[in-house]
Amino acid sequence: MAGSRKPRRPRAPRRPRIPPTGVLDWTYGHWGGVDRNCRYCGRLTPLQDTDGRPAHKVCAELAIAQQAEEYAEAWENERLRKQ
């Protein structure tokens, strides 16, 4: 039959690719004057987060990912509790 096509399956949403430099852009303004202990791992770092607290970029990204997981889990638990 001419013109008959199979219906398309909806595409699953694609997760955005994480750039090779990571999620956070610390190009400017994240270098402190002296090495201080990272707030997450405790090792020395010359970097500081946007609040001016010492933090490695990788440590900050891991903390953000963990916090997002915790928020998602809390939201899901709250949603299930209301059912």
From first to last of its 83 residues, what are the pLDDT tens digits of the chain?
566 677 777 776 676 666 666 677 777 778 888 999 999 999 999 999 888 899 998 999 888 888 888 888 888 888 778 77
Is residue 67 one of the residues assigned to a domain? Answer: yes
Secondary structure, 3-state, 14-43: CCCCCCCCCCCCCCCCCEEEEEEECCCCCC
User: What single-letter amino acid sits at 57?
Assistant: K
Is residue 22 one of the residues assigned to a domain? Answer: no
Residue 35's region, left for phi above 0, alpha for psi from -120 to 50, else beta, is beta
Q: Which DSSP string corresponds to 60-76?
A: HHHHHHHHHHHHHHHHH
Is residue 74 one of the residues assigned to a domain? Answer: yes
**What pLDDT score was predicted for residue 19?**
62
Is residue 9 one of the residues assigned to a domain? Answer: no
Is residue 1 one of the residues assigned to a domain? Answer: no
pTM for the structure as a whole: 0.62
69: containing domain: 31-82
- Run of H or E residues at 77: helix 57-82
The number of folded domains in the chain is 1
